[in-house]
Amino acid sequence: MITSMLRPLSIIPGLILLGFFYTGHGQEVRVSTDSLVKQFHHAWNKEDRRGMLELLDSTAFFKSPFQLRYGRDSIAATVLITNPPIFKVVEQRETHNRVRGNLAWSIGTMVCDWYEENGKKKEQPWRNDYVYLFIRRGTEWKLQMLFYHE
């Protein structure tokens, strides 16, 4: 009696296992881009310029409605100095990703807390869309393009 009652439960481990593999497969592509984005934003939020530069390819470029910076050195000397103290990423949501050979990209939206020069937080957060392009260098993925839309 008890055995027959429990029999339907025997399917649960199978479902869990199936769910695990399905999730794992689904995340495999997503993680390779979304986690890279998070890694970069983590370094950004800490104002860890060295950490950010390690994630950037030497030929990376930065493009927003306000500025265009070619090359890691140029980015390091400009936007990575001025912007991380002002914008702190508090939320990111990937809406599309793709891995294509040695290229990968992530498209999403992000919300940043926005600070004035005196350190005071503005009431309205700053929302924008991002497109990040990654290039594989050996076994490592590097950020190749940082593109922002308001």
Partner 1 sequence: MVLSKFLFFLLFFVSVSGYGQAAVSLTDSLVADFHAAWNANDLHEMLTRLQEDAFFKSPHQLRVGRAELAKTVLKSNPPMIRDCRNLEYYSHVEGDIAWSVGRLFCNSYDESGNLTMKGEEKTTEYTYVFTRNPKGVWKIQMLLYHE
Q: Which residues would be at the binding site for partner 1 (CB under 8 A)?
A: 59, 61, 63-65, 68, 70, 95-96, 98, 100-103, 105, 107, 129, 131, 133, 135, 145, 147, 149-150
Q: How far is the CB of 8 from partner 1 (least distance, A)?
A: 41
Residues with Cβ < 8 Å from 131, sequence gap 6 or more?
105, 106, 107, 145, 147, 148, 149
Nearer CB in complex with partner 1: 32/45: 32
Closer residue to partner 1 (CB): 43 or 106: 106
Give min distance, CB of 134 to partner 1, in A: 11
Joined together, the tokens standing for residue 31 give 């993680």
| CB of 142 vs partner 1, minimal distance in Å | 12
Separation between Cα atoms, residue 149 and residue 95, nearest integer Å: 14
Task: Return the structure tokens found at 115.
Answer: 């600070």
Do residues 146 and 80 touch, judged by C-beta distance below 8 A? no
